[in-house]
Amino acid sequence: MKQNQITQLDLTDVPEFYHDLKYNDGEIIFADDITSVPGLMKRFQVNFIAYVMVLNGTLSLELNATPFHLKKNCSLIVDRKVVIDNVQHSDDFSCLICGISTDVGFSFINKSLMQSVMHILSNPVIEMGQDDVDLMVKYYDLLTFKMGHPELNYGRETMRDIIRCFAYDLLSNINKHLNQGSEEDMLRQGDRIFRRFMLLLADNTNVNRSVKSYADELCVSPKYLTSICRKHSDSTASELIATAVISRIKQLLLYSDLSIKEIASEMGFDNLSFFGKYVRKHLGLSPNHYRKANNYGQ
């Protein structure tokens, strides 16, 4: 079904259809207007981390078929491999946008902020106070000022340092509102393992549902991996795996031409009946009924 095809959007593709970027070094982009982007209303999947802060007006869209609505002073963080659809905005809409490659994005994350990242993955819309918004705008103004004055720009790393502070303050603000623990509460080794685990889950080619298989790859015991996940996210390793698996299943059910049997096979389910039970457990509907309920193919 042609209408269910998804446009894949890599960070390096963005300059081809949007020529008014404020900054672009191949791994980080900045912009402040999406209203003129051609094809914005089409369904697409971003293969990078995207941050949008609404300065005025409203923005509505779907992420993996889940609707979200943003108003002034709301921020949206879109993780890689997320399908974006039905984008609509008010006439007075304005925003700031930052796109970051996955590797660079993870390099910004301090271990004390990993819980914020987990919160964002399940709650991508954050309502910010005016002071927090003003701070983000000041970062953006500083970046655009440096870009407009190349004689004051002493190399790519200075831009990275500013963006790193931008990301740190954003996540710290989320941490503040979540009343989460201090940096001393998290073990350095556990933080590294948790980051690696989350990167494995982010890989759409990984369809493993076994905690033991991930633990073996990370050279830890399943019990230790689960304890790390609880410390960093308040979820078990099994729950995080299920969230990643069902997200991929939803994408395939809604946006691919594959049959239910083919999806089950691609996701590593040898038994079609077990696949149906797994989907019903997590989505409340059978695979076929989930497709019908979401107007698949129409």
pLDDT (0 to 100) of residue 145? 80
- pLDDT surpasses 70 at 27: yes
pLDDT (0 to 100) of residue 186? 40
**Mean pLDDT score, 142-169:** 70
- pLDDT surpasses 50 at 2: no
| Residue 9 bridge partners (DSSP) | 46
pLDDT (0 to 100) of residue 154? 55
- pLDDT surpasses 70 at 175: no
**Mean pLDDT score, 245-254:** 85
- Dist. CA 208–CA 247, nearest whole Å: 13
* Average pLDDT of the chain, as a whole number: 78
Q: What is the pTM of this model?
A: 0.58
State the amino acid at position 69 in one-letter form.
Answer: H
**Mean pLDDT score, 58-62:** 91
Residue 9: left (phi > 0), alpha (psi -120 to 50), or beta?
beta
pLDDT tier, 54 (very low <50, low <70, confident <90, very high otherwise):
very high
> For the domain 187-293, what is the CATH superfamily, name and number?
Homeodomain-like (1.10.10.60)
Neighbours of 180 (CB within 10 A): 19
pLDDT (0 to 100) of residue 260? 92
Which range of 22-26, 103-107, 227-231, 285-289 scores highest in mean pLDDT? It is 285-289
pLDDT (0 to 100) of residue 274? 92
Range in 27-36, 67-76, 77-86 with the lowest mean pLDDT: 27-36
Domain parsing of the chain, residue ranges: 2-178, 187-293
Residue 129, CA distances (Å) to 142, 169, 295 in order: 20, 13, 37
Give Rg (Cα) of the chain. Answer: 20
Question: Residue 23: phi, psi to the nearest 5?
Answer: -155, 140
2-178 folds as Jelly Rolls (2.60.120)
Provide the percentage of residues in the chain whose pLDDT is more than 70.
Answer: 74
pLDDT tier, 12 (very low <50, low <70, confident <90, very high otherwise):
confident
- pLDDT surpasses 70 at 1: no
Q: What b/e sequence results for 225-257 when a residue is b if at least 16 CB atoms lie within 10 Å of its CB, and e otherwise? A: bbebbebbbebebbebbbebbbbbbbbbbbbbe
**Mean pLDDT score, 228-251:** 85
**Mean pLDDT score, 197-225:** 82
pLDDT (0 to 100) of residue 113? 54
- pLDDT surpasses 70 at 4: no
pLDDT (0 to 100) of residue 119? 62
**Mean pLDDT score, 236-259:** 86
**Mean pLDDT score, 203-215:** 79
pLDDT (0 to 100) of residue 155? 58
